[in-house]
Structure 1
Amino acid sequence: MGDDDIVKREHFANIVNKYADMVLRLALTYLGNRADAQDVYQDVFNKLFKYERPFNDAEHEKAWIIRVTMNTCKYVIRSPWKKWFAVIEDMPDRHIENLDIVSVVITLPRKYRLVIHLYYYEGYKTAEISNIFEHQREHCPDTVKTSKGITERKDVGRMGR
């Protein structure tokens, strides 16, 4: 193994250590079950390992990882396997009484989950979330506002930040 390979592996290990929890939390928030979230986690870091181009900076790197995580989650949901074999016990309970923030977020409609996760857990501002959701920029502020309204009605706003 050459010096370049060692440097690449060390750099990759540092990135995995830096973003592992975030990727798993995002996937779990979006998908609602640990098994699928762990599959997404593996896929995201496999894609990162194969990614050849350098990132502009740390924010570009993080945004790329978030974007790949979201797209991989969407692929899992659309997969024929998922449609045929939904895991019933992993479906979130729709009755919200004295649940923690994660349980509340999982009960939200899917399109709001990632927005809320990025806002409350990762500390992104509305404009930053709009940049991550590039193809939906014009709708993102409304989605963030709606998401925050839903979660505040369910007391997530007080549990979050």
Structure 2
Amino acid sequence: MTTFQPFARLLCIGLLALALGACSSLAPRSPLNVQVAGIQPLPGEGLELRLAIKLRLQNPNEQAVSYNGVALDLEVNGKRLASGVSDQQGQIPRFGEQVLTVPVTLSAFSAARQAIGLANASSLDRMPYVLRGKLAGGLFGTRNFVERGTLDFSGIGQPYE
């Protein structure tokens, strides 16, 4: 039994070193900065509208962020309007940025629901939106993001000065 004790101690020290190394890899990370960089129409089918949403992703962290898929949900006025996924793969460099294009689909029923909501709205000048997304990156590498904003239509129809 005395030969087992040095082996057990060595095993415990090794496991402790591995655990400390694993904890250091879970250091706090700053969230990604996400802005909508553009929206372009895509060909749709039947009663759907398809759009390509371009996202500017900024990584304010000291480590690069690798991803192997992306998912988006767009809500306008608190109601889901569009969603999309893409199996794109890539990496956002440390303290860098990248533009990512994700196709989203807007169903005719979602558009009708939004139109009814707009008809009942008291003010059509401003509409709040929420863009929720996820960059897939494996078991511990998935990064969620949320961008909130307001669509401002108060200047539409006004003469340009």
TM-score, normalised to structure 2, is 0.24
- The higher radius of gyration belongs to 2
Q: Which has the higher strand share?
A: 2
Q: Which has the higher helix share?
A: 1
